[in-house]
Structure 1
Amino acid sequence: MKNVTLLVSLFLLFAFTSSNFASVAADAVLDSEGSPLNNGGSYHIVPSLIGKGGGLGLAATGNETCPLTVVQIPSETTDGLAVMISSPARLAYIAEGLLLNMAFTAVPTCATTPSKWTIIEEDPAGKSVKISGYANTVDGKFKIIKYQSLFYKIKFCPSGDPCGDLGLYYDETGNRHLVIVANETPLSVVFKKVL
């Protein structure tokens, strides 16, 4: 009798665990090789289509004397800077719609603050993505959502307000600012493992 009870218990545990794993795996954000993004892992965020520019990096825009603005690098041969994608949730993988922190793994030598992404409210480009250090930041988190087929878009979700898609704003000097776009095409991206 003990063996039957143990067998049934193990079967139920396996069934419950595997169904939860399948659910998590179905919602997992996948990298360009089809593997789930690791919570706390580092990835290059690049456009999903060829000919749309390179990965993400930093530039000094406006009156900045230090590169604090998140931009897309024009050259499509460049994967850009590595971005650590993490959630405070105790999960091994990043799932779609999970609230996230995004941060470059490298900090410019002129920056005195961490490289965590923030949204700046008052910027000529609109609500721009910058690395932390500004006083006029918007409180909130990022999300990754499936956009087209195997491609994704990144959203910013301010506390208590609807989420907005991230896209590009081209300034007069040619910088491609990562900004919240309203009623425009979001930036379609894939995630490449950092080698």
Structure 2
Amino acid sequence: MKITLCLVSLNLFIFITTHSLLSTASDVIYDSTGNKLLKGVPYYILPLLRGTGGGLTLSRASKDVCPLDVTQEPFDLSNGVPFIINPVLFDQNNVRAAYPISIEADVADPCRGSNILKVVTSEDVVKTVTAGGQFDTPESCFQLVENDMMPGLRSYQIQYCPSKCGANTGTGTDVICYNVGIISNSDGKRFVGLTDVMFPVVFESSFAKTVQSE
């Protein structure tokens, strides 16, 4: 799978370093209607900036290929598929900023495998996101941090944090997390992967009625 980055090099990952496994920030994450993001509830993951494509979805790179890739819908009005976000270390109803999470697509998987997202390295050494991950493992470890690209509009950056999950959790003092964004291939298809291009997102409940948080 030939994937090239637009404008920047993959060697320049933006990362954050924290001084402890879990950030001291206790801010909860909110959906697009101002309700707290809830564990186990499906949400569409949409770009903050309209005119930049639709929501995240799952798709095949080619026929019969598994696992499915995480991609972005090309059209603004396409929400993609819903995703469920679950805290990894703590059994909390609300998702909090800078806490490790798993992200799972809430759709039937034709590959009949796990729908939990994971980061993989392709033959071209480009780290992309696919389905087929496992809960509480380094390759499936993400977090959400607040993005202030547009003050007054609440949005978030998805980050990949392999050292916050799995057997090595808590063994180091510094944690490095990589931004997750959009990588386009030569055909213009938009894959989700590790990139230094910011990709602020919002979360929209997939239910017809707004989910009310506690």
- Settle same-fold status: TM greater than 0.5: yes
**Distance apart, 1:91 and its partner CA:** 1.1
CA distance in 1, matches of 2:91, 2:141: 16
| 1:94 aligned partner | 95
Deviations 1:56-91 (CA, angstroms, capped at 9, x unpaired): 111222686356110011111011100000013111
Moved over 4 A (4+): none
RMSD value over aligned CA atoms? 2.3
Do residues 191 (structure 1) and 203 (structure 2) align?
Answer: yes
Pairs within 5 Å for 1:16-55: 27-55=27-55
CA spacing shift, 1:66–1:141, aligned 2, 3 Å = closer
Q: Is residue 56–residue 79 contact of structure 1 (8 Å, CA) maintained in 2? A: yes
Per the alignment, in what secondary structure is the counterpart of residue 119 of structure 1? strand
**Distance apart, 1:123 and its partner CA:** 4.4
Q: Is residue 120–residue 139 contact of structure 2 (8 Å, CA) maintained in 1? A: no
CA distance in 2, matches of 1:142, 1:156: 4
CA distance in 1, matches of 2:72, 2:187: 13
| 2:161 aligned partner | 157
Per the alignment, in what secondary structure is the counterpart of residue 139 of structure 1? helix
Per the alignment, in what secondary structure is the counterpart of residue 176 of structure 2? coil
Q: Give 1 or 2 for the bigger CA radius of gyration.
A: 1
CA spacing shift, 1:87–1:133, aligned 2, 3 Å = closer
CA spacing shift, 1:173–1:67, aligned 2, 3 Å = farther
Q: Is residue 28–residue 97 contact of structure 2 (8 Å, CA) maintained in 1? A: yes
CA spacing shift, 1:59–1:147, aligned 2, 3 Å = same
CA spacing shift, 1:108–1:125, aligned 2, 3 Å = farther
Deviations 1:83-105 (CA, angstroms, capped at 9, x unpaired): 00001311110010110000101
| 2:108 aligned partner | 107
| 1:172 aligned partner | 186
Unaligned runs of 5+ in 2: 1-24, 164-171, 208-214
CA spacing shift, 1:133–1:45, aligned 2, 3 Å = closer
Amino acid paired to 1:92: N
CA spacing shift, 1:156–1:63, aligned 2, 3 Å = farther
| 1:122 aligned partner | 122
Deviations 1:88-126 (CA, angstroms, capped at 9, x unpaired): 3111100101100001011332x0211110000234371
> How many residues align structurally?
166
Q: Is residue 57–residue 71 contact of structure 1 (8 Å, CA) maintained in 2? A: yes
CA spacing shift, 1:35–1:133, aligned 2, 3 Å = closer
Amino acid paired to 1:168: I
Percentage of identical aligned residues: 25
CA distance in 1, matches of 2:64, 2:128: 14
CA distance in 1, matches of 2:44, 2:61: 22
Q: Is residue 54–residue 75 contact of structure 1 (8 Å, CA) maintained in 2? A: yes
**Distance apart, 1:167 and its partner CA:** 0.9
